[in-house]
Structure 1
Amino acid sequence: MADYDVIVIGSGPGGYVCAIRCAQLGLKTACVEGRETLGGTCLNVGCIPSKALLHASHMLHEAEENFTKMGLKGKSPSVDWKQMLAYKDDVIGQNTKGIEFLFKKNKVDWLKGWGKITGKGEVQVGDDTYKAKNIVIATGSEVSTLPGVEVNNAGGVVVDSTGALALPKVPKKMVVIGAGVIGLEMGSVYARLGTEVTVVEYLDHITPGMDAEVSRAFQKLLKKQGLNFILGAAVQGVEELKTKAKVTYRLKKDDSEEVLDADVVLVATGRRAFTDGLGLSEVGVEVTDRGVVEVDHWKTNVDGIWAIGDATPGPMLAHKAEDEGMAAAEAIAGQAGHVNYDVIPSVIYTAPEVAAVGKTEEQLKDEGRDYKVGKFSFMGNGRAKAVFEADGFVKILADKKTDRILGVHIIGPSAGDLIHEACVAMEFGAAAEDLARTCHAHPTFSEAVREAALACGDGPIHS
């Protein structure tokens, strides 16, 4: 007889959600986690701690730039870096302890240690082997390496995203390799704290995959905030000295080679599936040459073994993993399980925030789809102007004939929250007119979404 109905390997957003949902559905469930705390990369060294530092540094920006405009006068705050890191660590602790509480509440067993699948329905954790009718791989992802660059988080000079969350001091100069979400968020944190930040990107634009118009506007705003960009540049190597580093890169446009000095180099060149050491090849689970687990509705090719989240194909997003965790749990319990992969939002938590869901304009052009664009600037939004956050715009892409919403892109205040109005609308197959005819409270940032929807028809009111 099996020890469990389900054993989930990994306690990140996908894993812990899957485990809790399995338990809610009456399945005897355990979750394997080798860290000292639950929550995976997201809660420990990813989403949550980075948002804490983004919030703290944004508050500093508000105090330095906007307080006096509102009649709030006094000495500008100084940065106590150790206290800021302590605040960040406290936020981590509250969240990871929260998952531990939820496990106890839902009677999910935490098997402490690193898991390996040793046979059909068998998971080894340390010296113990457990049996389960179903095994869910939810091991997430790890930082991608860059040839010629050796990361040493302990040294605090050449670091990855984990090391960037715990630098011994705020550097004077930082070079960020990679202009994706992680690089821009952490670069933004340190720029607000006074660091001279230079972002080196191989492509000729930032934020790969983002709507091009939004990407261009985003880069301009970040440049206004003090971030420097070197685009179309291939990093050749990083030489780590005692207290600083030299970054060598080659410009693609003329093949010239340049060198940058930095106190800290942040390697932010993406992430890859973390499936090494799981014993997948031994039990016959199909994986790609990049270690990504092949799945069909979260099932692997081996009966009784499932996989979700960053270890599987698709965007590496915590909320995508959570949705898959719920769906896989329901499928294991004999229910349908559902994830709408066309309506998965993405957010960059800088200031302003950037958020998107659905198709970009470039994708619609490639598909040959007839579409229309409705845009509205936050300069026309009373609430945004009142709080000094009038940069950016809302852009809605709708089918030219049916008016059905195909994609929404927002750069501006609270974009990460506003995007979900579009997500709900798209989930129900709404037209832009449906959004335009829905009453929105005044004054709110959300009125900009309505105005962009009006722009898909006869035109916005406040523009």
Structure 2
Amino acid sequence: MKEITCKLLVIGAGPGGYTCAIRAGQLGVDTVIVEADKPGGTCLNVGCIPSKALIHAADTYHDLRHMAGQESPFGIRIENPELDLAKTVGWKDGIVARLNGGVLARLAKARVKIVHGKARFRDGKTVDVVTETGVQTIRAQAVVIATGSQPVELPGLVFGGPVISSTEALSLKAIPQNLVVIGAGYIGLELGTAFAKLGSNVTFVEAQGRILPQYDADLVAPVARRLTTLGVRVLTNVKAKGPSVGGLLVEDAQGAQQRLAADKVLVAVGRRPHVDGLGLGELDLDQAGPFLRIDEHCATSMRGVFAIGDITGEPMLAHRAMAQGELVAEIVAGKRRAWDKRCIPAVCFTDPEIVVVGLPPDEARAQGFDIRVGQFPFSANGRAMTVGRDDGFVRVVARSDSNVVLGMQAVGIAVSELSAAFSLAIEMGARLEDVASTIHAHPTRSEGFQEASMKALGHALHI
């Protein structure tokens, strides 16, 4: 094959990679992107998008079953709702396919050349791509590594058969009667809760002392109560030992073992960089543990080699990768850019949802800030009452000397949509007075943001 030369080579067409390539193309940079699978990466194909589709379908089915089983507070009665999982999966796959096509169309519009195949570094400027028609060599002035991450396996629980990762969980042909989820972090909680609503008997096995250990206890409490309502079993301070006949063998902190019945065992204990076969051994890149070390320009330790997204470590979030991709594209195009984000929003799509932006109270105090905290419950929010779910709250953390907002957190139904307002407030350097004096539409959950700020200032109106 004839060798390809370009100014920018992007390896991986996930959210970070395709954003980088599209922006570079818009800026007139001669760009090539390499992708071994479908465009969109984990997020679009087997992560964010399909999981949220499954969660929505599960929520809808559960609500209908609840209305059929007892008197609905809304006065709605229905008979025997049924689930056709094949149609549900087909609907989910249709959304993914539509977005796949959108990514390809935007790359083409930006005049980005797409090479389908698996890339392997020959050196810091040269990559060989194994395609269907042979090996394609690509030489570039700058290279962006955006290969993402993949699920972590546990010793003795290799993926295959009844042991599945989040990827297989999103394409099951039947709802498992008994599902054991190893890991009660956000990935495990999201999928496990969805399957509980679809009819599975779900058990969570968590090695630490509580679910969602990355979030503070106040935010997690409404989620834990909801799991109890759904009939989900949660085992904490318990470790998976290995497969057993018809299930999974686990052991608690005292050494006592038990067998959990399981048709499927979902392992959701984290993700690791996806670098298999990439040939990173041919490069001289500094690492931070298993991840590639980068600076404020997303540059690695080798000149002209950048890295973005999950391969650079936590937080492993698509929107972080996208922001990094845009930044690198503009740097390659000659613009002056540096990573100067004050916060990156994190959302857990559990029931209820959790959103965290900036510093929670304990972290703010640990960093030496003298703070004031305002918290407003959704039980005093009219919009929350009208949709029948008023559990949760909005919380604002601010410096006590200047009232500059340091962080915002919320737990409740649909609070993920508050993440943009939270992030904007911190990026703009808002003070409590700015938020409190901004007119928020009524009735909306966003009023909780205003009310929490008023509470921190000492003059809450509705509590």
Gap change, CA 1:288 and 1:418, over 3 Å in 2: closer
**1:2-17 alignment, distance < 5 Å:** 3-17=5-19
Matches of 1:236 and 1:120, distance apart in 2: 42
Find 1:150's aligned residue among 144, 158, 167: 158
Deviation at 1:65, TM superposition (A): 3.3
* Other-structure match for 1:102: 106
Q: Is the 8 A contact 1:210 1:360 kept in 2?
A: no
Structure 1 counterpart of 2:310, one-letter code? D
Structure 1 counterpart of 2:157, one-letter code? V
Deviation at 1:288, TM superposition (A): 4.3
Cα deviation code 1:383-408 (max 9, x no counterpart): 11001121111111111211111111
Structure 1 counterpart of 2:28, one-letter code? G
Cα deviation code 1:358-402 (max 9, x no counterpart): 112221232232112111111111111001121111111111211
Deviation at 1:309, TM superposition (A): 0.4
Matches of 1:340 and 1:444, distance apart in 2: 31
Q: Is the 8 A contact 2:159 2:165 kept in 1?
A: yes
Deviation at 1:350, TM superposition (A): 2.3
3-state SS of paired residue (2:294): coil
Q: Is the 8 A contact 2:222 2:352 kept in 1?
A: no
| Alignment partner of 1:223 is 2:228 | yes
* Other-structure match for 1:391: 391
Gap change, CA 1:368 and 1:66, over 3 Å in 2: farther
Matches of 1:307 and 1:18, distance apart in 2: 11
Gap change, CA 1:376 and 1:413, over 3 Å in 2: same
Q: Is the 8 A contact 2:67 2:77 kept in 1?
A: no
Aligned residue-pair number: 453
* Other-structure match for 2:124: 120
Deviation at 1:83, TM superposition (A): 0.8
Find 1:129's aligned residue among 137, 140, 143: 137
Q: Is the 8 A contact 2:205 2:235 kept in 1?
A: yes
Matches of 2:205 and 2:126, distance apart in 1: 45
Structure 2 counterpart of 1:130, one-letter code? I
**1:407-418 alignment, distance < 5 Å:** 407-418=407-418
3-state SS of paired residue (1:70): coil
Deviation at 1:289, TM superposition (A): 4.7
Structure 2 counterpart of 1:90, one-letter code? G
State the percentage of identical aligned residues: 38
Q: Which runs of 5+ in 2 are unaligned?
A: none
Matches of 1:338 and 1:425, distance apart in 2: 20
Matches of 1:348 and 1:262, distance apart in 2: 25
Deviation at 1:52, TM superposition (A): 0.6
Gap change, CA 1:236 and 1:342, over 3 Å in 2: farther
Structure 1 counterpart of 2:269, one-letter code? T
Q: Is the 8 A contact 2:223 2:351 kept in 1?
A: no
* Other-structure match for 1:257: 257
3-state SS of paired residue (2:287): coil
Structure 2 counterpart of 1:71, one-letter code? G
| Alignment partner of 1:52 is 2:79 | no
* Other-structure match for 2:91: 87
* Other-structure match for 2:79: 75
**1:16-415 alignment, distance < 5 Å:** 16-35=18-37, 37-65=38-66, 68-126=72-130, 127-152=135-160, 155=161, 157-239=162-244, 241=245, 245-252=246-253, 254-290=254-290, 292-296=291-295, 297-415=297-415
Matches of 1:374 and 1:95, distance apart in 2: 40
Matches of 1:63 and 1:380, distance apart in 2: 27
Matches of 1:302 and 1:49, distance apart in 2: 36
Deviation at 1:69, TM superposition (A): 3.0
3-state SS of paired residue (1:69): coil
Deviation at 1:186, TM superposition (A): 0.4
Deviation at 1:76, TM superposition (A): 4.0
Cα deviation code 1:56-96 (max 9, x no counterpart): 11111232336943333332421111111111111111111
Structure 1 counterpart of 2:153, one-letter code? T
Structure 1 counterpart of 2:92, one-letter code? K
- TM-score, normalised on structure 2? 0.94
| Greater mean alpha carbon deviation, residues 56-65 or residues 172-181 | 56-65
Matches of 2:341 and 2:257, distance apart in 1: 42
Instruction: Report the aligned-residue RMSD.
Output: 1.6
| Greater mean alpha carbon deviation, residues 14-23 or residues 227-236 | 227-236
Structure 2 counterpart of 1:158, one-letter code? V
| Greater mean alpha carbon deviation, residues 346-355 or residues 62-71 | 62-71
Deviation at 1:206, TM superposition (A): 1.5
| Greater mean alpha carbon deviation, residues 428-437 or residues 358-367 | 358-367
